[in-house]
Structure 1
């Protein structure tokens, strides 16, 4: 949203130099944090941890079908993470069929009526359950029948409901593997500790970039003086160059370009020391003294310039 808004502002030239530099810096810092740290790579929500655990155990999810039992927030988050991880497809069941339909439609999935759960369960490689039921929904005998229909191809069960939806004895069924919310919480806690370490790295990057931005910001006060000084030198350079060229007979074809380059190089070298001193003065708060001296020494009448002229290098 910020990038989109800034894009409109830039298009209509309604943002100034400080906002432009600030947002460009913010975007680049965000990219550095994403690429130079692992702050976003660890699951810190139960739903995300469930998907990461499935990927770790089953590997590629592109040939895996997911059955979600429940249509609440946790199942919605899990559906999003599963689909982002490349799952082949999603089935959703819920006691209120309309809610199952809505969630399934959001992810181009299939809604299953709750009383037909065991008619479809064998089609799922991964089963994630998160309902508010006060009793067990899936027991070991149910899973034994389902696994037989699957010819004992492995099934991965994730129970993130409190109280439990899936009987713990399901984990004893050949071909069935059960993980509960307690298992996932351990993963989340470990990942949270890792993320805190990555956050420290991110803060170092941010602090360094903030320092650079403030350093640049401090030069803005002297930027008009620097631009005016350069303009004054360039005015003199051009006048003397034109005078020399106009009085030079039989000037070789490329001589004018060479003289232009020569005078520009000389001017740049002459201006580098005072420019550096002015920028340093801006950071030290001694601006007025230097600006007044420049105005008197080089007859600088105006120190006001537009935003394009103010875009000096850091």
Structure 2
């Protein structure tokens, strides 16, 4: 059993490469069938997101497994193999397990703590499971990885605290208002950042969306996305009176909203607070607005400060997540080591039976003519002796294999009985292969092998 991972991510490849190596949902079945159609790959899961494409595989042989995956990726996407290798990282054995656990825990994501990756990996596993591309090893590994993701989410606060400008705006807005439900927002400017911030606010229960833009048609387009209302730019200051939250992001070179505008808008609001988010550079809103009672203005630097502080907090939580990952890794390693004992026990018994038969043949020749019944009796006797001699040691070996250091017991038994890798096991030359390939990877992407921690 060879656990291998061949992949690329935002850490090793630019978007120009990543976008050429995606496996969309409607092509997963075809891709998995092709990948597992030969003898080299026994199990496979393809994780494909905007920031990573990773192929996890259980390979029957070292060279064949890695070569099969790389050839598949290059052939499926019509890419030059040598060019592809430059962007890849390769993991094997224990590092595959740790990498997967770190991925589902969002420690390897572009934004640490983001919530989407766990669902994306679950979806990838479901595709593989439903297309008969997984077996005993990956069913165990991936299901345990989901437990890792759940533990990290529930036992740490890695997903708390805003780490994007738009979410930081929501965090600050919640400090002004008890709830965002039923509030009205006014979006000034129809750029991407304004749209994203408005989208997140709507997801928090905001009731009404007003959109103002110098180009009225553009305001209408954005308003339609939120079932909102487009307003004429000339009506901006009058309609500001209706808003609880104002998001401003225009390309103006002067203040679009002044202290005077806001002061006029605050009259007759009955003390209702006004929350303004200025994400424009140069700024759209005059800073002196903050001097007004019940008015709260935050600009891009304020929001960035919230993000930076929250990122530091997430990094502290990431260290707690690493402890969980190591605990779960140890659990999986013990399970995997227990699998190793079965072929080892079989190899010990096979070796013993070869010796038994050889010695039995010699003895029978020395004893001369023996009846068929005598031969059967002697054969049964020698079988019984071997079985009784091996029963105790092999049973204890199976029990020891489940312990924390079980692999050491297995290796000791293999050494004592003189078993090599061709007997009951087949690790092959994967480490040598990966070391050779790592030289190519290191040219442009750095050596990610066994050291990797993506949307």
Normalising by structure 2, report the TM-score. Answer: 0.50
Alignment equivalent of 2:138, drawn from 2, 19, 25: 19
Verify: 1:216 aligned to 2:335, yes or no: yes
Give the 3 Å change call, closer, same or farther, for CA 97–25 of structure 1 in structure 2: farther
**Does the Cα contact within 8 Å between 1:69 and 1:93 map onto a contact in 2?**
yes
Instruction: Write out per-residue CA displacement over residues 212-254 of structure 1, whole angstroms, 9 at most, x where no aligned residue.
Output: 22332222222457799xxxxxxxxxxxxxxxxxxxxxxxxxx
Q: Which moved more, 1:83-92 or 1:120-129?
A: 83-92
**Does the Cα contact within 8 Å between 2:187 and 2:210 map onto a contact in 1?**
yes
Instruction: Write out per-residue CA displacement over residues 2-39 of structure 1, whole angstroms, 9 at most, x where no aligned residue.
Output: 32232232234321222212211221111111111111
Structure 1: 5+ residue runs without aligned partners?
229-270, 294-302, 305-314
Give the 3 Å change call, closer, same or farther, for CA 197–118 of structure 1 in structure 2: same
Find the aligned partners of 1:190 and 1:164 in 2 and give their Cα distance.
23
Give the 3 Å change call, closer, same or farther, for CA 214–73 of structure 1 in structure 2: farther
Alignment equivalent of 1:277, drawn from 383, 400, 412: 400
Alignment equivalent of 2:211, drawn from 74, 80, 92: 92
**Does the Cα contact within 8 Å between 1:222 and 1:282 map onto a contact in 2?**
no
Shift of 1:282: 5.4
Alignment equivalent of 2:238, drawn from 106, 109, 119: 119
Find the aligned partners of 1:291 and 1:125 in 2 and give their Cα distance.
78
Structure 2: 5+ residue runs without aligned partners?
1-119, 348-393, 426-455
Give the 3 Å change call, closer, same or farther, for CA 38–149 of structure 1 in structure 2: same
Give the 3 Å change call, closer, same or farther, for CA 24–101 of structure 1 in structure 2: farther
Shift of 1:135: 0.9
Shift of 1:140: 1.6
Alignment equivalent of 1:59, drawn from 161, 164, 178: 178
What corresponds to 1:10 in structure 2? Answer: 129
Give the 3 Å change call, closer, same or farther, for CA 191–292 of structure 1 in structure 2: same
Q: Give the alignment of 1:25-64 within 5 angstroms.
A: 25-64=144-183
Find the aligned partners of 1:82 and 1:90 in 2 and give their Cα distance.
10
Verify: 1:165 aligned to 2:284, yes or no: yes
Matched length? 257
Structure with the largest fraction of helix: 1
Instruction: Write out per-residue CA displacement over residues 114-138 of structure 1, whole angstroms, 9 at most, x where no aligned residue.
Output: 3332232111101121222111101
Give the 3 Å change call, closer, same or farther, for CA 100–286 of structure 1 in structure 2: farther
Find the aligned partners of 1:198 and 1:277 in 2 and give their Cα distance.
35
Find the aligned partners of 1:202 and 1:93 in 2 and give their Cα distance.
44
**Does the Cα contact within 8 Å between 1:222 and 1:287 map onto a contact in 2?**
no
Secondary structure of 2:340's aligned partner: coil
Find the aligned partners of 1:99 and 1:287 in 2 and give their Cα distance.
74
Shift of 1:205: 1.4
Query: Which of the pair has more CA radius of gyration?
Result: 1
**Does the Cα contact within 8 Å between 1:69 and 1:131 map onto a contact in 2?**
yes
Q: Give the alignment of 1:196-275 within 5 angstroms.
A: 196-223=315-342, 273-275=396-398
Secondary structure of 1:111's aligned partner: strand
Find the aligned partners of 1:130 and 1:158 in 2 and give their Cα distance.
9
Find the aligned partners of 2:121 and 2:268 in 1 and give their Cα distance.
52
Secondary structure of 2:125's aligned partner: helix
Find the aligned partners of 2:223 and 2:259 in 1 and give their Cα distance.
27
Secondary structure of 2:157's aligned partner: coil
What corresponds to 1:297 in structure 2? Answer: none
Normalising by structure 1, report the TM-score. Answer: 0.71
